[in-house]
Chain A
Amino acid sequence: MHNQDTQKKGSASIWQIAKAVMFAFMGIRKKSDLENDAATLTPAQVIIGGIIGAVLFVLGVMFVVRLVVS
């Protein structure tokens, strides 16, 4: 909270957010990556990223289901 990384907050690229969310869904994350995430991502980015991730997850599963039943 009070560390000097604060000025970098929000500087993450879309890809970085996407990666954090993807790893979250698997439940795996390296310590160094996590610290990097914590320093560069804002909560809003994580939440929006998470919701988009959930939507993509749902669409992905639906896509697989279509494949299976067609």
Chain B
Amino acid sequence: MAAVHGDVHGHEHDDHHPSGIMRWITTTNHKDIGTMYLWFSFAMFLVGGTLAMGIRAELYQPGIQILEPELFNQFTTLHGLIMVFGAIMPAFVGFANWQVPLMIGAPDMAFARMNNWSFWLLPVAATLLVSSFFVPGGAAAGGWTFYPPLSTQGGLGVDLMIFSVHILGASSIMGSINIITTILNMRAPGMTLMKMPLFVWTWLITAYLLVLVMPVLAGVVTMLLTDRHFGTSFFNAAGGGDPVMFQHIFWFFGHPEVYIMILPSFGIVSEVIPTFSRKPLFGYSSMVYATASIAILSCVVWAHHMFTAGMPTVGQLFFMYATMLIAVPTGVKVFNWTATMWRGSMSFETPMLFAIGFIFLFVIGGFSGVICAIVPIDIQVQDTYYVIAHFHYVLVSGSLFALFAGAYYWIPKWTGRMYNETLGKWHFWLSMFFFNLTFFVQHFLGLAGMPRRIPDYNLQFADFNMISSIGAFGFGSTQLLFLYIMINCIRSGEKAPQKPWDGATTLEWTHLPTPAPYHSFEKPPVVN
């Protein structure tokens, strides 16, 4: 470990780093790269959000008003792909880049140049995805899960999507190898594994999951590609293949993927809740163990996405039981956060509000997940708006709210300035209100039988859809407030003290000035 630190010392960096745009293109600094990841993911969030506004505008009333069905399907497909691979995942990697070295007392990420490469692949992939709207035939339109035969039939847009997924996967794999190596090899003396902040733990486990399942995704899109262009029939029944096999491979990636998007947010919430409750995290060790077991179990529940695809009863029962059991360690976590707040001296700054909002709404999403896992119910609600409601409760009010909590929590450390607390609270309450307005009613729509991924619907669904669309426009506009708050903070926020949160205990607050200097922990701190 000492050798690693010594090595980094060897380079004389401060005097000759380029400025202007070249600084960003050539940078190997984890803070610069983290910043780029965060801005990139926010930009993608706005692109994906714009598509969502298009979807909700079309669904505001029954009938076709704005988007032709074909374009509508392209919107839903790219909305999903961009939000999952362009917004949520890179945002968490951005947090990892900024925070992992700061929280374990390392000077930088282990593979600094590879880090630069992992980031710069992203804009390339995003360009491919977004430009696919403008090729003949338009973007991929078979849903973010790109099931064949739709995905073997589409035009050039599907090829661009496949290529883009390859690149994004490569970026994720490199990013996770970097994170694993950093955490395992570059911790400050005394920072044992069991002293690591929970955010670092959750990222360590997430990174292993990524290394495990991203190659599976790469494999399955490659099989699609060869089915499309090179005469294979992996998923084509006429050639002896099996379209259902695609679903198995995809969801073997897909279900761990949803945990990849939620575990780091568990980590962020596990930092924020103790800080603002001024108490250590209740059951730190349980949290570590629960995270590990969620990661393992998440690999044996995938077919709960396929109950209606045709499966023997024993299969249905197996995946139903396994899925319901995985809710146990998840429930333990919710219990631990609640117990952390119990009798704490709590205060409710914006990060804490988002963390509490996270717990509250994530529980709703978790419960609707368990409901979807019950086979006879899922046969009814599969492919309806009920599923849409479920996963937006876990992804928007789960992952995204945790990202907001983390952004407000660490922005003082990153910029040296405070955000506007009043506006932050407005951001939270407006998000909370509009989020529920948008998605709660979708439970009712789903139970009443409204299918997902359709541009038009029967008259009986009209009222709830209008409510949902109004909520969506509100939620979308509210996020512009977040952009304003962040820019305002960076430009002209009040100067932040070294430790604006008096309950914070992790290294970045206790051992570093605010803002964190460009090169931090060149000498490793001593942790006891």
Contacts and interface: CB of A to CB of B under 8 A. Distances in A.
Contacts of B284: 31
Name, among B285, B288, B322, B332, the residue most crowded by chain A CB atoms within 10 Å (CB to CB): B285
A54 B294 CA distance: 11
Contact of B289 (A27, A61, A65): A27
Contact of B285 (A26, A30, A51, A69): A30
Given A35-B194, A38-B194, A61-B325, A27 B313 contact: no
Nearest to B332: A27
11 contacts: A1-B189, A1-B191, A24-B293, A25-B297, A27-B294, A29-B285, A34-B194, A54-B299, A57-B322, A61-B318, A62-B314
Contacts of A64: 321
Say which size band chain B's interface belongs to: 20 to 34
Nearest to B320: A65
A34 B329 CA distance: 16
Contacts of B156: none
Given A27-B329, A28-B289, A28-B332, A54 B194 contact: no
B318 A38 contact: no
Interface string B318-362: 100110010011101100000000000000000000000000000
Contacts, number: 84
Interface in A16-40: 20, 23-31, 33-35, 38
B332 A25 contact: no
Interface in B284-306: 284-290, 292-294, 296-297, 299-300
Contacts of A30: 285
A38 B192 CA distance: 9
B296 A23 contact: no
A24 B430 CA distance: 38
A68 to B, nearest CB: 6
Contacts of B300: 54, 57-58
B297 A27 contact: no
Given A1-B192, A38-B192, A38-B193, A23 B318 contact: no
Contacts of A31: 284-285
